[in-house]
Amino acid sequence: MKSLADEQTAQVSPDLPLRANLSARENIALIPLYQKHFDAAEASRQAQALLEQLGFASIADKRDPDMNPSERFAAKLARALILRRPRLVIERPGAMLYDIHYPVFLRGLAARYEGKPEKWEVFDFDWNRPLYS
């Protein structure tokens, strides 16, 4: 499958896993640490602030194997959002959020987030289209 990501797009996808040996905060902090060259303390602070804004501060120290699907998705979403790109693509959310009514969950996360991206797009299977009406 061709990636939907580019320099203007951040992506959340089942094909982009978290690093299992790192906590949620550490997975998110990798972005500012290595791509934006912040020091470890600042990268960790930014990651924690983003988790708090999304309402998932409690997962900061959890590793991927210890998270439920919603928590894992929130960590992946925060990792994408910390890129601060104008477009966010969420690919096949049902494959990641199989334990909840995810359209409502996604709307709730979007409402909590302040800042870029202005454009959130969901790419899902055609048969799930009625879920987004």
pLDDT tens digits for 61-92? 999 999 999 999 999 999 999 999 999 999 99
CATH at 21: 3.40.50.300
The Cα–Cα gap between 102 and 93 comes to 7
* In contact, 82 and 31? CB cutoff 8 Å: yes
In a domain, 4, yes or no: no
* Structural domain of 56: 9-132
C-alpha to C-alpha distances, 65 to 20, 45, 69, 82, 109, nearest whole angstrom: 7, 23, 10, 22, 22
**pLDDT value of position 115:** 77
Residue 122, SS3? strand
| Number of domains, the chain | 1
90 closest CA partner among 31, 52, 103, 26 = 103
